[in-house]
A and B are shown apart, each in its own frame.
Chain A
């Protein structure tokens, strides 16, 4: 690990001032950043600890919930309002990592964690455009069983590892950020990028911008939602495929639906084609399958991950059928 200075931010303004310095990094729980620093994939010269900033979970009068970015994963999953009104988010968080890691990891850090692509981590042995722009990508012709099937580019096929983010994409959450130019709000689905020809850039955040809060907007049918994760072992593993979905039914017809996929792309994949296809249609397995096919029509599987297309199709249908079977 390279040496660095450490400071605890006392408030947002203090954090942004310290975070604006060259090679500074914000530090949340450290569950990803400390590991990346140990591997020298991240080499900040200063760390600004932002875990002392707001971790409040505020339920507003309109029913929305504002989550301070320093809130721990555990606190969000445990929150009564999240459990009862946004169960897909509680379930997504509980499907991720382990009890110990969820106690450390913050919401802001979860959003900014980096891919677990093994080639990205293999500094000594592999080429990676995300780690060293322009170097090439050894995953494309390599062992790419866990890699992207949607939205990848010739320069990067990495996937985004978060579970929480898949639920936040389905919910159309809002990300509140503060930088030296002031505050702004970013729609969640615009926070992460597809790799294109600059996979070294994960998000649309400007240099030095700090995530201060995540807002869960009001979504009446979010209480009728779930998260399903398919992985290589029953627990404590990253997703091969995951589905976060909420659905509103009226007399057997899909009135509204939200669905996002994890494990398939460089960002949490909001399934807008599927949603458009299903709205107003009868909630039948046949229609669920047709909508899944439509969403996955542009999937481009690699040598080792063709199974993911079928797995995504089946998981989508199973999750929607589960939500349709319980009209409560």
Chain B
């Protein structure tokens, strides 16, 4: 019974109640992923599972046996920040920083969804398979990540710029 976290194979805890979030933070000392509401309302605990964004607080670790999880710690390589992380710094995409790891993981998952043509609530023509990531589209797709500091303008700018350079 193992799970892959940022490239390392980890044994799952025997207690089935352990959430993926608690496994990361309390068992593996990967404290980058944050516990905000612990009930699926804030997005601070967002991680990527096989490239898809999910909420680790509503996930039992045991459900994800055999899957590959990427947390914010897994985004940088040898101490060099991911370009989206640098973008958050350049655009003042945070104040307290608590929501930031969730914002960044969510944005990466979101951009993969856009790339494959996934529509959103504000998409006009559902039949059109290509999405233009307007500000409205970006905000709607990131609505599951709250920022109590209200750094949304910087967050949107950082994600929009990264999206533009990785088209």
Interface residues of A (CB under 8 A from B): 1, 3-6, 27, 29-31, 34-35, 38, 47, 49, 51, 74, 77-78, 80, 83-84, 87, 90-91, 94-95, 97-101, 103-104, 234-236
Contact = CB atoms under 8 A, between A and B. Distances in A.
Contacts of B89: none
Contacts of A94: 119-121, 123
Given A1-B17, A83-B126, A98-B144, A31 B40 contact: yes
Contacts of B40: 31, 35, 101
B143 A235 contact: yes
How many B residues are at the interface, by size bracket?
Answer: 35 or more
15 contacts: A3-B17, A6-B62, A35-B58, A38-B39, A78-B117, A91-B126, A94-B123, A99-B110, A99-B144, A100-B53, A100-B55, A100-B144, A101-B55, A104-B54, A235-B139
A136 to B, nearest CB: 25
Contacts of B106: 99-100
B55 A3 contact: no
Interface SS majority for chain B: loop
Interface string B76-97: 0000000000000000000000
Interface string B41-56: 0010010000011110
B73 interface: no
A4 B17 contact: yes
A47 B109 CA distance: 28
B38 interface: yes
A207 to B, nearest CB: 23
B38 A38 contact: yes
Contacts of A83: 119, 126-127
Given A27-B63, A49-B63, A104 B55 contact: yes
B72 to A, nearest CB: 15
B60 interface: yes
Given A34-B60, A99-B144, 11 more contacts: A30-B63, A31-B58, A38-B38, A74-B113, A84-B126, A91-B121, A91-B126, A97-B144, A98-B145, A100-B46, A101-B144
B5 interface: no
A6 B113 contact: no
A77 B59 contact: no
B33 interface: no
Contact of A31 (B43, B55, B62): B55
A234 B121 CA distance: 10
Contacts of B71: none
A47 B58 contact: no
B38 A51 contact: no
Contacts of B139: 235
Nearest to A121: B39
Contacts of A236: 143-144
